[in-house]
A and B are shown apart, each in its own frame.
Chain A
Amino acid sequence: MSTNEAVRNYLQRAFSMNPVWQAANLIDLRSRAVRSQRLDAQQADVDLERVARLRQRARKQISQIQTEFWKQPLDQLLKQVDSVGVDQLPELLPTLNRLRNAARCRADFPKMAQAPWMDMQLFNAFKEAVVLPPSEAGQVKERFLSRIRSRAKLKRIQKAAAMMATEFPVLYAMEQDWFTTLKKTKLRQSSDEYSGSTFESSFDWAELSWPTWIVIMIVIRALLRLLAQSGQ
């Protein structure tokens, strides 16, 4: 507030506000005018706008890194990841850390692909999932899981996942949840003929299982034989 013009502008703006509704804006305006830092770190106009701009820029950069992750030269990619400023954006920190980890381990991906135990479908799905935003990564993982048809294939994938845990622990940790799912996945024969009524508790002779029927038959046969013998 050094010049008369600045003072006039400040006063004009201050008196144009209604303190009943705009007290927060008025106090913000004063804090800028008298250059006094707010102690409550509440929603000061300038800060919020700056943070919003930072957030928008950071999200754009992250999105670009996700798209071009496998195309960029490694040194350029690392530079790009480090250039994203998220100091005031803690909500973007996990995403950025994940990308940074993946970028630092990018040299491991070709080694992983060439490993004799690696399943290429698993490798491709992992390569996509590790970089994509979670919702898209979820679709990739689901698609991959639905394509596992044989037990042999599943076993190979589980073995590959186990090897990844020992050979590439940092990369494994990035998708640990998914690898745990893979480890626990079982393949079963589908049962189209299943009627699905055994969950009900009401007793029905028609619902009796085959072992029960066998026992009943044995009992009846035994009874008949005993009857026949006692008749003689």
Chain B
Amino acid sequence: MSQTTNWQYLPADPLKFFGLSAGFERRELKRAYGQLIRQFKPETHPAEFQRIRAAYEMLESQNRYGVQQAQATQQISLWDLGSAQNLTVTDKPPVARKDVAVETVSDVDSAILDPKATYQRLSSRQEHSPQDYFILATLADIVDRENKNMYLKWLLTGLKQFPNDPGLLRLVAEFLSAFVDCKLAPTTLVTLSKLIAGEDFFRVTERVWLRCLAELPFEKFESTLQTCEKFLRYRQIRPRLAFYVRLVQQAVWSAPAEWVDQRIAFVESHGSEIDASLEEDVELAIMLRDYVRHDRQAKSQSPVLESIDEMLHAYCTQAWLESAARISSTCELMARNSHAVMDAFAAEPSERAARILTLCSIVLADVSQQTGLDFQPTAPEQLQLLADRTVRDFEETIRSVSSKIDWMRYRFFGLPLACLILGPLLPAYGWQYFAIFTVAWTGLALLIFLAVLKPFVLEKRADQKTRQLVAREYQREWRPRLFRYIQSCHQPSNAALQQLYESGHQIGFSNLVDVILSYASGDLALHFFSRLQPFQR
């Protein structure tokens, strides 16, 4: 991987860095990001991780809000003040240049050498470029130290003149997220809503809104949002939908139910604007709403359900690093406790349990991709050994299960057949035509049994009972063994079950293993438990 990491493309071309093409899908980005993060973990490669994360977040946000990469890159070259990187600071005055691009560099030169004079000169200029506003904002911190709001003021003034400029938009987004206090945020957000288009507004301000949702009284939050929406002008509805969907994922935990329903209804009413990428987020938002509304109340029933609730809450409401740490900690505890997971979720889960487990799988898949957590590779021979041992343990239960099934078949086929034949014969005993009647009735009874009773009545009941019996055995005997196997082999559930299938066929218990695996593959809790295992350290 290290040979193919294209650092030369950062920061200017994150698409090429991740090996993606324009119009990429979010899951492709996540996959590429996850692969890199596995190599450049934050604890071992903090600087590299930081760069990868920044590039990922930018592309992820652009993808979610449907921003075309080509559009965004058009104005980037203007922002390349990078020649300053090669500047050596000298006491010589900067040389005036003629063309605009070089003039910007000269402003940078003079800003470094004499910030105060440059600030005054630039601020008194009649016309400004977006880059001028950036330089003015940066110099304001030095020249006008008492007034810390000047940085944002210059950026907003720049946006008033250049509402679509990508550099100013990104700076404002980061500034708002990092420095704007929630108490002051409503004023700033309303001001910004008058300056820039709706498409950019939500992308730029998303993180502030999420923070305000957590910290401000809901009424204040809602009224600010309504005020901003009055001023916003839209060319496309999609960014607004993306914003609402993200907002709802957090709002379901604290906002009034009607407000959440209204937003989801609004999103759903624009179905034609929802692409595949956004659709996944909409589904997640709806699942979260249903969880909070219907399933969350059951959390006190089991420590696992409580841990799951904590995990989902952290995932939706906390900043990424914070939530990843909390989720890791919660998942590790669950990964250690197979019996608690089995007790919380039956092999054939209820509708509610299935909903919770599906939601957890989506969240865990995302967290695993984002944290780069993966299964520790198990040596193939070790895996084979564990699978063989598991199949041998299954083998031990065969005798009891097969004798139970034999007895059941006797009950369902042997007894009815005997009763059918003997029932009419016994009262007829002693009758002069008894011999002929016996032969005729036995033949007829066999015919009735084979043609009607067995295929249409008995076989169905026998199959149903057999299935119930095997399901009970799975729950009682085989499931705990499978959970143990999953815990010790450290493989994704599909790969682990495949290994079990191969072992079963090699050892010669294919039928039995096939039956057990058919139950295992539908056991959502087993797959969930498998997803928890990488969190164990």
A interacts with B? yes
Q: List A residues at the B interface (Cβ < 8 Å).
A: 1, 7-8, 11-12, 14-16, 18-28, 30-31, 33-34, 36, 38-43, 45, 48-49, 51-52, 55-56, 59, 89-95, 133-135, 138-139, 141-142, 145-146, 176-177, 180-181, 184, 187-191, 194, 196-201, 203, 208-212, 215-216, 218-219, 222-223, 226-227, 230-231
Q: Is the CB of B326 within 8 A of A90?
A: yes
- The majority secondary structure among interface residues of chain A is helix
Q: List 21 A-B contacts (CB under 8 A).
A: A8-B112, A14-B138, A15-B135, A19-B134, A22-B54, A31-B178, A33-B141, A39-B181, A59-B43, A90-B325, A138-B490, A142-B488, A181-B339, A191-B395, A199-B405, A208-B413, A212-B409, A212-B410, A212-B414, A215-B415, A226-B425
Q: Are B339 and A211 in contact (CB under 8 A)?
A: no
Of A7, A142, A191, the contact of B389 (CB 8 Å cutoff): A142
- Which listed segment binds A: B164-172, B222-230, B260-268, B289-297? B164-172
Can you list, as one digit per residue, whether each of B429-458 has a CB less than 8 Å from chain A (1) or not (0)? 100001100110010000000000010000
Query: B336 near A177 (CB under 8 angstroms)?
Result: yes
Check: B20 CB closer than 8 A to any chain A CB: no
Specify which of A94, A194, A201 is in contact with B459 (CB 8 Å cutoff). A201
Task: Report B-chain residues with C-beta under 8 Å of the C-beta of A210.
Answer: 406
Is B81 within 8 A of A94, CB to CB?
Answer: no
Q: Which of B142-182 contact A (CB under 8 A)?
A: 142, 148, 151, 166-168, 170-171, 173-175, 177-181
Contact in complex: A134, B459 (CB < 8 Å): no
Task: Flag the segment in B189-197, B279-287, B507-515 that touches A.
Answer: B507-515
Q: With A91-B332, A191-B399 as given contacts, are A19 and B167 in contact (CB-CB < 8 Å)? A: yes
User: Given A95-B537, A208-B409, A15 and B480 touching (CB < 8 A)?
Assistant: no
Q: Once the chains bind, are B536 and A134 in contact (CB under 8 Å)?
A: yes
CA distance A51 to B41 in the complex (A): 12
- Chain A: minimal CB distance from B518 (Å): 10
Q: How many residues of B contact A (CB 8 A)?
A: 118
Select from chain A the residue with minimum beta-carbon distance to B170. Answer: A23
Nearest CB in chain B: distance from A196 CB, A: 4
**A86 to B313 alpha-carbon distance, docked (Å):** 22
Contact indicator B480/A184 (Cβ below 8 Å): yes
Q: Which residues of B contact A (CB under 8 A)?
A: 10-12, 14, 42-44, 46-47, 49-50, 53-55, 57-58, 72, 75-76, 79-82, 84-85, 87, 89, 108, 111-113, 115, 134-135, 138-139, 141-142, 148, 151, 166-168, 170-171, 173-175, 177-181, 207, 211, 319, 321-322, 325-326, 328-329, 332-333, 335-340, 376, 386, 389, 392, 395-400, 402, 405-407, 409-410, 413-415, 417-418, 421-422, 425, 429, 434-435, 438-439, 442, 454, 459, 462-463, 466, 470, 480, 484, 487-488, 490, 509-512, 515, 536-537
B336 lies within 8 A of A134 (CB): yes
- Whether A40 lies near B177 (C-beta < 8 A) is yes
Q: Are B84 and A16 in contact (CB under 8 A)?
A: yes
Given A208-B409, A211-B410, residue A146 in contact with residue B389 (CB < 8 A): yes
Cα distance, A177 to B337, chains bound together (Å):
6
A110 to B96, CA, bound (A): 84
Chain B residues with CB under 8 Å of A24's CB are 54, 57, 174
* Beta-carbon contact of B399 and A135 below 8 Å: no
Beta-carbon contact of A209 and B11 below 8 Å: no
